[in-house]
């Protein structure tokens, strides 16, 4: 009995720190989980697929060849089976841990602000898209957590070689999972300096030197990552893939144009609809209100501070914040960058939270202007809540579209297979060519055009390159689709030109030794 009591007490001692942490961060945890489940439950409880998700149901996609060797390591934590519920929930919990760590780094004390800040980060459209790629959703959440941990070890508490080493390890591992998340580390470091300028007693010279150290840290992280990646390529059969190679643009000749692209794309997001990171006209209006009110608060701080050097350093940091958020543009061609890459844009909301928290100390006086400021603080919080609601509606609309796309495509593949199997002379294993462009349903352009700017949310269709996998995994049929070169010869024949298109009678015919499925006269082949 005493042994049992002792065992229970030891267990309680182990759990006490965890329970204390959960209690301390109950508001950001609640914000993440409530808003997260409102946005993502449908995606977690249904197997929704897009082009890549269909292709990589049993893998982590292109890993070492694209420099994402960290995804191989993640396979030990998250086996290569794309399971929406478990990976969705795990991803949500890991993201929540990263957000709580952000709140700790920036000392956000207001409970309502903790709740809303967590909600707006967790429902940001980049994550809405990321959860559409179930096979990497949880690993990318780990990458986010590691990026934040790097900032925590580097900036918080007393520095030591061990903490700096841990920061470097976390940063390198984060980049090895998803290179774009270096922008999360970079933007958080800029924001940490902003917070210290507005609220610490350190001199401008000390803060400037600290900033130079952060730049050196980022460069060292990328350098170590690149060395490890090249060592892996040189000691294995893997090598940089064509997609990754064509995306790289970093060179001394392009650095200025890349910096320009980073700023142009940042302000393009604020102009609404670019990358679909602002999810509607109401959200766009609210973002404008947030920018104006935050700008007013910054101006009041400058008038109150009256230290030119400190004000200039703050303006400089605010000026390079867009570059830190979009620093991936320094390395990757703009055409290869999509909404998943832009998750660091959430640093803008963190900036709003930092400024709100910093302004609280000026509200002790009971004069008219402070009452006005209290009012527009409330307006700012309401604006954040509205953006969260817009994001939640956007997520559910996006996932509805993925479901409808899947249903349409499954209906198509089932119909085609039925017709193919009833075509005279067809036997299993015969050569098949799927040629032409399938006409997308009209409802997409009419009702779901708002999804065009965001990656992964337009779903799978008969025009997808992963249609073979659809036949295999969802219809249980190993259709023997021929190569591009073989199909080219078939598509040039007079018989193909005279064939009717799907779904007209006769859209499947045998030409030479190939059973041709003609979708349209537009010669596009899917294999």
Place of tokens 């509205």: 386
Q: What is the pLDDT of residue 367?
A: 65
**Local structure of 527: helix, strand or coil:** coil
Instruction: For residues 166 and 143, give the distance between their C-alpha atoms in angstroms, rounded to a whole number.
Output: 15
Kindly give, in sequence order, each residue whose CB lies less than 8 Å from that of residue 4, ignoring residues fewer than 6 positions away: none
**Torsion sign over Cα 290, 293, 295, 301:** negative
Q: Residue 338 region, left (φ>0) first, then alpha (ψ -120 to 50), else beta? A: beta
Q: What is the pLDDT of residue 1?
A: 47
Name the percent of the chain in helix, strand, coil, to the closest 5: 70, 5, 25
CB neighbourhood size of 102 (10 A): 25
Tokens of 475: 């219809």
Query: Looking at the chain, how many residues does it have?
Result: 527
pTM flag (> 0.85): yes
Whether the CB-CB separation of 367 and 153 falls below 8 Å is answered with: no
Tokens of 125: 């459209």
Tokens of 89: 């929930």
DSSP code of residue 471: I
Q: What is the pLDDT of residue 456?
A: 80
Q: What is the pLDDT of residue 363?
A: 52
Tokens of 176: 């090895």
Residues of the chain short of pLDDT 50, as ranges, are 1, 6, 361
Q: Residue 506 region, left (φ>0) first, then alpha (ψ -120 to 50), else beta? A: left
**Local structure of 434: helix, strand or coil:** strand
Contacts 24+ apart (CB under 8 A), 362-365: 362/300, 362/304
Contacts 24+ apart (CB under 8 A), 213-218: 214/154, 214/189, 217/154, 217/167, 217/168, 217/171, 217/189, 218/171, 218/182, 218/185, 218/186, 218/189
Instruction: For residues 18 and 496, give the distance between their C-alpha atoms in angstroms, rounded to a whole number.
Output: 67
**Local structure of 133: helix, strand or coil:** coil
3-41 confidence digits (pLDDT tens): 555 456 666 777 888 888 889 999 999 999 999 999 999
């Amino acid at each position: 009995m005493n042994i049992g009591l002792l065992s229970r007490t030891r267990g309680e001692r182990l759990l006490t720190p965890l329970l204390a942490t959960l209690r301390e961060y109950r508001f950001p945890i609640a914000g993440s989980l409530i808003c997260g489940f409102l946005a993502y439950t449908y995606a977690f409880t249904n197997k929704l697929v897009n082009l890549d998700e269909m292709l990589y149901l049993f893998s982590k996609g292109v890993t070492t060849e694209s420099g994402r060797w960290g995804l191989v390591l993640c396979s030990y934590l998250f086996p290569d089976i794309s399971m929406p519920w478990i990976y969705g929930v795990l991803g949500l919990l890991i993201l929540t841990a990263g957000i709580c760590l952000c709140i700790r780094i920036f000392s956000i004390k207001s409970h309502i602000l903790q709740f809303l800040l967590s909600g707006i980060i967790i429902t940001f459209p980049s994550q809405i898209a990321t959860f559409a790629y179930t096979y990497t959703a949880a690993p990318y959440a780990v990458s986010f957590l590691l990026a934040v941990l790097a900032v925590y070890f580097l900036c918080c508490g007393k520095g030591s070689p061990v903490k700096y080493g841990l920061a470097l390890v976390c940063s390198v591992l984060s980049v090895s999972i998803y290179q774009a998340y270096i922008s999360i580390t970079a933007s958080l470091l800029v924001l940490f300096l902003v917070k210290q300028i507005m609220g610490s007693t350190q001199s401008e010279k000390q803060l400037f030197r600290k900033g130079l150290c952060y730049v050196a840290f980022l460069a060292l992280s990328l350098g170590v990552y690149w060395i490890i990646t090249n060592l892996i390529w040189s000691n294995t059969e893997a090598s940089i893939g064509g997609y990754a190679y064509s995306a790289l643009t970093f060179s001394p000749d392009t650095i200025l144009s890349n910096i320009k692209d980073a700023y142009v794309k940042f302000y393009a997001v604020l102009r609404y609809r670019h990358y679909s990171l602002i999810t509607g006209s109401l959200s766009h209006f609210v973002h404008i209100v947030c920018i104006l009110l935050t700008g007013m608060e910054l101006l009041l701080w400058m008038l109150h501070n009256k230290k030119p050097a400190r004000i200039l350093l703050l303006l400089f940091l605010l000026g390079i914040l867009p570059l830190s958020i979009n620093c991936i543009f320094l390395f990757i061609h703009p055409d290869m960058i999509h909404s998943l890459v832009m998750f660091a844009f959430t640093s803008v909301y963190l900036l709003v939270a930092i400024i709100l928290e910093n302004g609280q100390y000026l509200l002790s006086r009971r004069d008219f202007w402070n009452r006005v400021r209290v009012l527009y603080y409330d307006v700012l919080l309401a604006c954040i809540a509205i953006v969260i609601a817009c994001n939640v509606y956007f997520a559910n609309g996006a996932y509805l579209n993925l479901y409808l796309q899947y249903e349409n495509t499954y209906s198509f593949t089932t119909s085609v297979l039925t017709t193919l199997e009833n075509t005279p002379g067809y036997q299993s294993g015969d050569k098949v060519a799927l040629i032409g462009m399938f006409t997308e349903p009209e409802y997409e352009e009419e009702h779901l055009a708002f999804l065009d700017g965001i990656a992964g949310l337009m779903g799978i269709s008969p025009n997808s390159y992963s249609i073979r996998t659809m036949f295999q995994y969802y219809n249980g049929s190993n259709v023997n689709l021929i190569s591009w070169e073989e199909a080219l010869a078939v598509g040039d024949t007079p018989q193909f030109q005279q064939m009717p298109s799907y779904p007209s009678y006769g859209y499947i015919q045998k030409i030479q030794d190939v059973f041709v499925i003609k979708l349209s006269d537009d010669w596009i082949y899917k294999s």
